[in-house]
Structure 1
């Protein structure tokens, strides 16, 4: 399971794709299939076509950008489609034109290879473990998330499923953790809420759960405050949120001198995303006092990392 931390492309919502047989049939029906002669079983045909598309598009940046733009916008384009994209079966020929199933499939692979982001396919998480499920669901809109979760739950015992998700919350990424807390609190009924309740006394994790659920009776210890602040900000950063949102999640309306004091403690939280959050403040905060505090905290973080070995 790859992790996505490339801030150049926000997490993309899932796509729907037909099965392998339908995609392979689309390859065989593509205008260029007669010339290129894809042969073999469906898997071999698809592998051949994917490689050929990569080679064609690698040599034409304009076409590559058009394919990616069509994928990311999910909107049709007016005008005449490229002969190459049409010949490869990657676009529907009706005007305005859109990506075909085959085009979605190829574009998804290219984006994964160039950005590291594995854009999920609806229905692909049914057999996943809980950590992979939460990782995949990070970019799902609410309705699609419910559909994907229903497929994952099919054949699983509800209590066991809730316990499995709860058991991985401490080891997944900040956004995956936020998704897991939300699912357990809203989609699993009393079983999910009890699974979260049992985690409240866990160091760090329990404090984050309490903060997300508004459980005021479980206040963070001084050592946990920095960890909670970073975890909440990192979830926004992981999703691809605006830098202003990331900053405000920690600033919370405080004056710059108060923000600087809060930033100073972040290095002591031992959160794996602390450095990335501090760099947002260094690069984007408008007040030099806060920027200076973030730089100092980042130096302290690196010094503490050296001491820990």
Structure 2
């Protein structure tokens, strides 16, 4: 079944990026940079020195720069044909400005300028942008000439798996023929490509794709927002970096304070962290918060704390909150429906949905629309429509 909103980009896992200095060094090593520096070099007979020496003058010869230079060298070679006239990708005035930054700018300025270059070149061709999206989101490989993605240094050549051997006769294995030697070159995103793709996709989707290690200095609210899409090992790694230098008890209190205003999925992550990764300090925070209206009902439901009594309004609020975590993550509609149905028959589900308007949860309308549009039983869908009308009516009364 399709996700609830096919136009919404599912939350993306964190991406690992090199340091700013390494990324800037990779920019200096791209075919387009080489072409721009050569084309804009002063006519004094020093253009070769300017082009080849740009890295050493600006720091690309550093140890970090050499590491990324080797990762992009194959794409440089593959992009030579485009790079020969690659400067033509940019207007003349832009070429001069970009070349000046590449020749003399500091790392942050170079990266800001390269962001503008990538945005201009990639977004002018929808097919190029979609190709970059597939390389980033699906981890696909690009077959054949890399085109402008190679010119910009956004892809690198990768090894291709050898063709499978064919068994003939009594178990003898042999190649499938002369055609086996004719392989198509494959390319994957370079580290610079991951950096550029993340930025462009974030701009296009409005979703801030997290970067590993980037939350160490942020507050607990930002941490919970970022950790929503983290797989378990990466979540623990990010949390460990965030806790470094912090008092564990104070950190647990900060996470607990952020639960009330977090998104449903961020709240679920925070409850899980406090219950499993903060030890006694985290459990003490949860014990205190469990008596909080609404939030306490969510904590009790997620931790199976049956001793905590909840009002019908709190139960409705907690059910919506838990269903909303699936919507926020990009879960499928049948998962959302199952999270509320919990084995109830259609009549019981319809009765539960009538309570939703009372809970005043900000995601109530979105959850109800899932039942209206996708529930297979018309009685439940009708109850959801009635609850949505009541929700709108109560909202107008509340002002």
Normalising by structure 2, we get a TM-score of: 0.74
* Residue aligning to 1:54: 119
Query: How far 1:268 sits from its partner (Å)?
Result: 0.8
Query: How far 1:7 sits from its partner (Å)?
Result: 5.6
* Residue aligning to 1:292: 382
* Residue aligning to 2:75: none
CA distance in 2, matches of 1:187, 1:257: 40
From 111, 125, 131, the equivalent of 1:66 is 131
Would you say the 8 A contact 1:231–1:273 is kept in 2? Answer: yes
SS of the aligned residue for 1:97 comes to: strand
Query: How far 1:6 sits from its partner (Å)?
Result: 8.5
Mean CA deviation greater in 258-267 or 123-132: 258-267
* Residue aligning to 2:163: none
Over residues 120-159 of structure 1, what are the superposed CA-to-partner deviations in whole Å (9 max), with x where a residue is unaligned?
1000000110010000000001000010000000000010
* Residue aligning to 1:262: 352
Query: How far 1:219 sits from its partner (Å)?
Result: 2.6
Over residues 2-55 of structure 1, what are the superposed CA-to-partner deviations in whole Å (9 max), with x where a residue is unaligned?
xxx986221111010011111111111100113252431111111111111111
* Residue aligning to 1:133: 223
Higher relative contact order (CA 8 A, sep 6+): 2
CA distance in 2, matches of 1:145, 1:183: 9
* Residue aligning to 2:394: 304
RMSD: 1.4
**Runs of 4+ that moved beyond 3 A:** none
CA distance in 2, matches of 1:73, 1:67: 10
* Residue aligning to 1:175: 265
SS of the aligned residue for 2:186 comes to: coil
CA distance in 2, matches of 1:116, 1:58: 16
* Residue aligning to 1:83: 147
Larger radius of gyration: 2
Would you say the 8 A contact 1:81–1:93 is kept in 2? Answer: no
* Count of matched residue positions in the alignment of Structure 1 and Structure 2: 304
SS of the aligned residue for 2:383 comes to: helix
Trace 1:11-50 onto structure 2 (pairs within 5 A).
Answer: 11-34=11-34, 35=36, 36=95, 37=99, 38-39=101-102, 40-50=105-115
SS of the aligned residue for 1:198 comes to: helix
Q: Which runs of 5+ in 2 are unaligned?
A: 37-94, 159-184
From 275, 282, 289, the equivalent of 2:365 is 275
Would you say the 8 A contact 1:21–1:42 is kept in 2? Answer: yes
CA distance in 2, matches of 1:140, 1:69: 20
Normalising by structure 1, we get a TM-score of: 0.95
Change (3 A) 1:159 1:81: farther
Mean CA deviation greater in 97-106 or 32-41: 32-41
Change (3 A) 1:81 1:143: farther
SS of the aligned residue for 2:328 comes to: helix
Q: Counting strand residues as a fraction of each chain, which structure ranks higher?
A: 2
Would you say the 8 A contact 1:236–1:245 is kept in 2? Answer: yes
Q: Which runs of 5+ in 1 are unaligned?
A: none
